[in-house]
């Protein structure tokens, strides 16, 4: 059962904003005091005091936008660290002058605290968006300490298998399906294409409205013109090698390994049939060697699990 994400309450959001403003105010007071000690005019000192922290927040927002677009965010992150470091050094210097090392540490932590709270808020918003689209990654298994002590080999194999399954989600074939939020006419994402093909494979005589209903049930965002373009394009969605009891309708974010495990759970062991099944769900462009490599890894993991049991 999937529960709707719980948003932060109004009191928490208000407290977050108040704490951030207080930290920024304290950092501005510290830096302005240092600038005044250096001989700068009071008005100019207060104006320049927020420069580095404000620049850090701007860089944090650039990093957020880059991550949401799935583009590199290295430069904004490095810039953020640089501005926070400069602000921290200035706060340290002022704290050392007025109260020794305790004051220096306390004031130097202000800028880092502001950026940390901003980063936590950004991650919370991002995770809410991912949860709403069904893209939250499965958690790694929790192995108790006694498990590591009594069965270190089995614990390691379990963790290794879970990490391997997580790496399957990074397959470049899946990138398009995971990163596009919306489809537009004439440019269907991998998720929508695979879902439409799966519906037509399962219900060959499905009407346009039937396809729309199935996509709504799966919770997939789509554009009606896009779906109509797929239906009108006459794409071949049949594969004679994997007929039978398999009904490939993949939820958003399903990896190749998940699809293979689903096929094996129905009793299908033939590799050609599994390759055909994966291509029905994820599209014909999935490379055969990628599928075979994933099948081999899953088979090895199952053998190790059986030996460990």
Domain spans of the chain, in order of start: 10-132, 145-308
Please give the backbone phi and psi of residue 187, each rounded to the nearest 5 degrees, phi first.
Answer: -145, 75
> Model confidence over 71-91: pLDDT tens digits?
888 898 898 888 888 888 888
Q: How many residues does the chain have?
A: 309
When pLDDT is averaged across residues 130-156 and rounded to a whole number, the result is: 78
Q: What is the pLDDT of residue 135?
A: 58
Q: What is the mean pLDDT of residues 153-158?
A: 88
Helix axes 42-49, 51-68, angle to 10 degrees: 20
Rounded to whole angstroms, how far apart are CA atoms 3 and 5? 6
In the three-class reduction of DSSP (H, G, I as helix; E, B as strand; rest coil), residue 187 is classed as strand
> Under a CB-based contact definition with an 8 Å cutoff, are residues 82 and 89 in contact?
no
- Considering only 12-16, 25-29, 168-172, 207-211, which range has the smallest mean pLDDT? 168-172
Q: What's the pLDDT tens digit per position in 116-139?
A: 888 887 777 777 766 666 555 566
Residues 139-145 have a mean pLDDT of: 79
Question: C-alpha dihedral over 86, 92, 93, 98, to 10 degrees?
Answer: 150
Average pLDDT over residues 149-154: 90
What pLDDT band is residue 149 in, cutting at 50, 70 and 90? very high
* Residue 296 pLDDT class (50, 70, 90 cuts): confident
């Amino acid at each position: 059962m999937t529960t709707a994400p719980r948003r932060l309450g109004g009191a928490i959001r208000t407290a977050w904003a108040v704490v951030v403003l207080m930290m920024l105010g304290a950092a501005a007071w510290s830096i302005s005091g240092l600038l005044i000690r250096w001989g700068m005019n009071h008005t100019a000192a207060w104006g320049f005091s927020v420069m580095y922290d404000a620049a850090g927040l701007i860089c944090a927002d650039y990093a957020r936008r880059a991550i949401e677009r799935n583009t590199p965010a290295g430069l904004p992150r490095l810039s953020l660290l640089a501005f926070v470091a400069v602000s921290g050094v200035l706060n340290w210097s002022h704290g050392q002058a007025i109260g020794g090392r305790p004051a220096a540490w306390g004031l130097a932590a202000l800028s880092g605290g502001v950026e940390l709270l901003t980063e936590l808020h950004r991650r919370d918003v991002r995770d809410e968006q991912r949860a709403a689209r069904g893209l939250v990654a499965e958690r790694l298994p929790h192995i108790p300490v006694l498990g590591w002590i009594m069965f270190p080999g089995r614990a390691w194999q379990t963790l290794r298998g879970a990490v391997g399954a997580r790496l399957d989600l990074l397959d470049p074939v899946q990138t398009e399906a995971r990163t596009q939020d919306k489809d537009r006419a004439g440019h269907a994402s991998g998720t929508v294409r695979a879902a439409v093909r799966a519906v037509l494979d399962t219900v060959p005589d499905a009407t346009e409205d039937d396809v729309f209903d199935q996509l709504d049930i799966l919770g997939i965002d789509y554009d009606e013109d896009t779906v109509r373009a797929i239906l009108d394009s006459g794409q071949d969605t049949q594969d004679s090698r994997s007929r039978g009891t398999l009904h490939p309708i993949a939820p958003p974010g399903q990896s190749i390994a998940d699809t293979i495990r689903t096929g094996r759970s129905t009793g299908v062991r033939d590799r050609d049939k599994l390759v055909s099944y994966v291509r029905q769900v994820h599209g014909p462009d999935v490379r055969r060697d990628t599928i075979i490599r994933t099948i081999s890894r899953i088979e090895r993991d199952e053998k190790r699990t059986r030996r460990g049991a």
